[in-house]
């Protein structure tokens, strides 16, 4: 056996391409693309290993002939394997089925021909090695070889021009270049069969270039769908280089030491790959969970939108008959349909009160739909916040007195005017005070204002039911009612505070709710900026 750089080169390529082939197969052995790429790597192994043996035994005539013919056990199947790979990769298997069958049949005929002296016979001797001499059938085979592999390049190129996906286009480029390297640079090895000397057998370097280019396509552009390819190939390449050192050992002790080192590297490599796979699996699970949550969130938003649309339609449909009903109640009460007794008037008043509650509920629904559909109209101007609060106090004074409550408000005239929508902010303050009256049995409701951070705070404090941490975090959500008020006689929809939050946020402000605990009273407040630009942007 003759070992030098010329024989070691194809041996190194044979081992390297074999490692890559098994890596591809084990990445997903069920994939046809992976199976075909593995088959092509096996064909390259026959080519490279046969060449190594031919070079290593170049002093032995019959051995060299035998190993050169061994090469064609793999080489003859390169055209159909490449053709088949291109069809699966581009999704065109059904379109060239007969042509593919013909390609495989011609490969089998070429294999039979390569066993005869009409294919190769005798040797050419070069400074770097030997090569068999081509005969008539070899020349015929060359025509078939380049036509058969040309189908691969045609399919991949046309697929590249048609596809729009950036990643798939990059995969196509690297696949095209990797196989082109093997066929057109590696194919220069055929020159040696015709007594053409290239001075150095660089054709066999393609056994290294081919897997490296495809490895890059796998790791960088997700060819074959591999996830841990970078780690696996790095570990495998390291182990490959360590094992190759065994061929250059000069003593039994050196072989033993290097063998032990190779085993240690392999063990550490396996642990590393296993760790990376577990990490990738966890990331995939997190990614899948995030995607599932995103889909669920989208679905919830769709349902919420549908609910809003339903509320809008239902509210508009209810508003008209309620208005008509109110009109008829007033007509009956005024005697338009005959004299009414005191008992009838009492009943009509009860009906009118119930009708008003329904109208108020429908108005709340309409406010929700306008807010969520972006149809709420705002009219901003400069207003004295003291006057707005005073009007709310005056309107709710009698109701508070009836509930044995006192509303306390001391205007603060040092507070300058605020750029706001009077109707919306009045609605918010009214809601806060109205809720305080509903959920406070006795005592005082205090309204205060103060300046803060280029804006104004409005606080409404009571000594009523109070609430816990859960309520504090949820009060301003849609349809939420406090835990401690659900068993009271006070009716509500949980929409009022949600609308308040939306109105204040449209002014560039914020709302809050505070309490020291159940039975310890509560504070509801809002802050809006003096600067109306934030309000304008919100609208």
Of the ranges 107-111, 178-182, 253-257, 425-429, which one carries the lowest mean pLDDT score?
A: 253-257
32-56 and 206-221 helices, crossing angle to 10°: 160
Helices (H) and strands (E) in the chain, counts: 16, 9
The pLDDT of residue 140 is 95
Do the strands 418-420 and 381-383 form a parallel or antiparallel pair, or are they unpaired? antiparallel
Is residue 44, in this structure, part of any structural domain at all? yes
Q: Does 416 lie in the same domain as 358?
A: no
Overall domain count for the chain: 3
Does the pLDDT value for residue 189 go beyond 80?
yes
Does the pLDDT value for residue 19 go beyond 90?
no
Is residue 526, in this structure, part of any structural domain at all? yes
Q: Does 423 lie in the same domain as 354?
A: no
The pLDDT of residue 481 is 66
Helix (H) or strand (E) holding 133: strand 130-134
Q: Give the CA dihedral 58, 62, 67, 72, nearest 10 degrees.
A: 130
State the pLDDT confidence band at 533, using cuts at 50, 70 and 90: low
- Rounded mean pLDDT, 428-443: 89
State the pLDDT confidence band at 247, using cuts at 50, 70 and 90: low
Cα 306 from chain centroid? 26
Q: How far is CA 476 from CA 230, 314, 468, 497, 505, in A?
A: 50, 23, 14, 5, 12
State the pLDDT confidence band at 244, using cuts at 50, 70 and 90: low
* CA distance linking residue 211 with residue 224, whole number of Å: 13
Q: Does 181 lie in the same domain as 38?
A: yes
pTM of the full predicted structure?
0.49
* CA distance linking residue 506 with residue 509, whole number of Å: 7
* CA distance linking residue 92 with residue 427, whole number of Å: 67
Is residue 178, in this structure, part of any structural domain at all? yes
* CA distance linking residue 18 with residue 205, whole number of Å: 14
Q: Does 513 lie in the same domain as 480?
A: yes
The pLDDT of residue 144 is 95
Task: Give tens-digit pLDDT for 140-155.
Answer: 999 999 999 999 999 9
Residue 190 near residue 119 (C-beta atoms within 8 A): no
* CA distance linking residue 262 with residue 267, whole number of Å: 9
Q: Does 201 lie in the same domain as 62?
A: yes
* CA distance linking residue 195 with residue 49, whole number of Å: 22
Helix (H) or strand (E) holding 286: helix 252-333
* CA distance linking residue 176 with residue 91, whole number of Å: 16
Grouping H, G, I as helix, E, B as strand and the rest as coil, residue 393 is: helix
State the pLDDT confidence band at 221, using cuts at 50, 70 and 90: very low
User: Which one is predicted more confidently, 501 or 266?
Assistant: 501
Residue 120 near residue 135 (C-beta atoms within 8 A): yes
Q: Does 446 lie in the same domain as 386?
A: yes
Residue 445, domain CATH: 3.30.565.10
- Rounded mean pLDDT, 255-259: 79
Which of these, 230, 236, 220, 232, lies nearest to 175 by C-alpha position? Answer: 220
Which of these, 522, 476, 482, lies nearest to 503 by C-alpha position? Answer: 476
Q: Does 427 lie in the same domain as 360?
A: no
Q: How far is CA 139 from CA 70, 74, 179, 337, 508, in A?
A: 18, 17, 22, 114, 83
Which of these, 51, 46, 55, 48, lies nearest to 2 by C-alpha position? Answer: 55
- Rounded mean pLDDT, 480-508: 73
Among residues 171, 201, 225, the one where a domain terminates is 225
The pLDDT of residue 447 is 94
The percentage of the chain sitting over the pLDDT mark of 90, rounded to a whole number, equals: 29
The pLDDT of residue 108 is 95
Q: Is the dihedral of CA 304, 307, 313, 318 positive or negative?
A: negative
- Residue 201 has a CB neighbour count (10 Å cut-off) of 22
State the pLDDT confidence band at 362, using cuts at 50, 70 and 90: confident
State the pLDDT confidence band at 538, using cuts at 50, 70 and 90: very low
Cα 246 from chain centroid? 46
The residue range of the domain holding 343 is: 307-372
Q: Does 131 lie in the same domain as 47?
A: yes
* CA distance linking residue 268 with residue 275, whole number of Å: 11
Among residues 225, 242, 272, the one where a domain terminates is 225
- Among 30-39, 227-236, 325-334, the range with the most confident prediction by mean pLDDT is 30-39
- Rounded mean pLDDT, 247-253: 71
- Rounded mean pLDDT, 78-97: 89
- Rounded mean pLDDT, 59-80: 90
Q: Does 411 lie in the same domain as 336?
A: no
Which residues have CB under 8 Å from 425's CB, separation 6+? Answer: 383, 385, 388, 503, 504, 507, 526, 528
Is residue 276, in this structure, part of any structural domain at all? no
The pLDDT of residue 246 is 67
Does the pLDDT value for residue 13 go beyond 70?
yes
* CA distance linking residue 163 with residue 92, whole number of Å: 13
Does the pLDDT value for residue 357 go beyond 90?
no
The pLDDT of residue 102 is 95
Q: Does 449 lie in the same domain as 410?
A: yes
Among residues 372, 404, 426, the one where a domain terminates is 372
Does the pLDDT value for residue 348 go beyond 90?
no
DSSP alpha helices (H): ranges in 121-205?
Answer: 136-162, 166-180
State the pLDDT confidence band at 156, using cuts at 50, 70 and 90: very high
Q: Burial letters for 62-81: b for 16+ Cβ neighbours within 10 Å, e otherwise?
A: eebbebbbbbbbbbbbbbbb
Residue 185, domain CATH: 1.20.1070.10
Residue 358 near residue 431 (C-beta atoms within 8 A): no
Does the pLDDT value for residue 367 go beyond 80?
no
For Cα atoms 396, 400, 404, give the angle at the middle one, nearest 5 degrees: 170
- Residue 195 has a CB neighbour count (10 Å cut-off) of 12
Task: Give tens-digit pLDDT for 22-53.
Answer: 878 887 788 888 899 899 999 999 998 998 88
Is residue 299, in this structure, part of any structural domain at all? no
Does the pLDDT value for residue 314 go beyond 70?
no
Of the ranges 177-191, 212-226, 313-327, which one carries the lowest mean pLDDT score?
A: 212-226
Q: Does 494 lie in the same domain as 419?
A: yes
Q: Does 95 lie in the same domain as 28?
A: yes
């Amino acid at each position: 056996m003759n070992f030098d750089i010329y024989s070691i080169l194809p041996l190194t390529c044979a081992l390297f391409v074999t490692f890559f082939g098994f890596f591809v197969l084990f990445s997903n052995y069920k994939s046809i693309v992976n199976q075909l790429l593995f088959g092509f790597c096996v064909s390259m192994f026959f080519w490279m290993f046969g060449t190594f043996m031919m070079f290593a035994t170049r002093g032995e005539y019959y051995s060299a002939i035998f190993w050169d013919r061994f090469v064609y056990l793999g080489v003859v199947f390169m055209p159909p394997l490449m053709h088949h790979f291109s069809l699966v990769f581009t999704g065109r298997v059904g379109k060239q089925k007969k042509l593919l069958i013909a390609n495989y049949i011609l490969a089998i005929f070429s294999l039979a021909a390569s066993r005869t002296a009409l294919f190769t016979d005798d040797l050419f001797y070069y400074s770097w090695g030997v090569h068999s001499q081509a005969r008539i059938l070899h020349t015929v085979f060359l025509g078939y070889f380049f036509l058969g592999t040309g189908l691969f390049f045609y399919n991949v190129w046309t697929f590249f021009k048609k596809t729009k996906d950036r990643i798939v286009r990059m995969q196509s480029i690297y696949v095209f270049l990797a196989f082109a390297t093997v066929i057109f640079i590696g194919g220069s090895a055929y020159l040696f069969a015709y007594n053409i000397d290239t001075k150095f057998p660089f054709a066999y370097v393609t056994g290294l270039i081919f897997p490296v280019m495809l490895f890059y396509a796998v790791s960088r552009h997700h060819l074959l769908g591999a996830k841990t390819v970078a780690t696996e190939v790095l570990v495998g390449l390291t182990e490959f280089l360590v094992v190759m050192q065994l061929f250059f050992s000069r003593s039994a002790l050196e072989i033993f030491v290097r063998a032990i080192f190779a085993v240690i590297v392999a063990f550490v490599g396996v642990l590393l790959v296993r760790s990376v796979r577990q990490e990738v699996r966890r990331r995939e699970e997190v990614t899948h969970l995030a995607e599932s949550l995103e889909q669920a969130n989208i679905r919830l938003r769709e349902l919420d939108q549908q609910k809003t649309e339903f509320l809008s339609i239902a509210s508009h449909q209810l508003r008209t008959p309620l208005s008509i009903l109110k009109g008829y109640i007033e007509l009956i009460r005024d005697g338009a349909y005959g004299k009414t007794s005191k008992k009838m008037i009492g009943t009509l008043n009860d009906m009118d009160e119930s009708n008003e509650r329904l109208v108020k509920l429908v108005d709340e629904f309409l406010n929700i739909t306008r807010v969520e559909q972006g149809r709420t109209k705002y009219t901003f101007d400069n207003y004295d916040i003291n006057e707005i609060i005073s009007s709310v106090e005056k309107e709710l004074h009698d109701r508070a007195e009836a509930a044995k409550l006192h509303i306390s408000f001391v205007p603060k005239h040092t507070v300058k005017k605020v750029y706001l929508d009077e109707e919306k902010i009045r609605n918010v303050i009214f809601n806060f005070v109205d809720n305080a009256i509903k959920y406070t049995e006795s005592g005082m409701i205090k309204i205060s204002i103060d300046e803060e951070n280029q804006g104004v705070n409005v606080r409404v404090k009571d000594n009523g039911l109070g609430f816990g941490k859960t309520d504090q975090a949820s009060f301003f959500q849609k349809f939420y009612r406090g835990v401690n008020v659900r068993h009271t006689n006070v009716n509500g929809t949980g929409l009022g505070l949600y609308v308040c939050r939306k109105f204040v946020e449209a002014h560039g402000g914020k709302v809050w709710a505070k309490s020291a605990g159940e039975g310890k009273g509560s504070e509801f407040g809002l802050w809006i900026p003096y600067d109306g630009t934030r309000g304008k942007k919100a609208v």
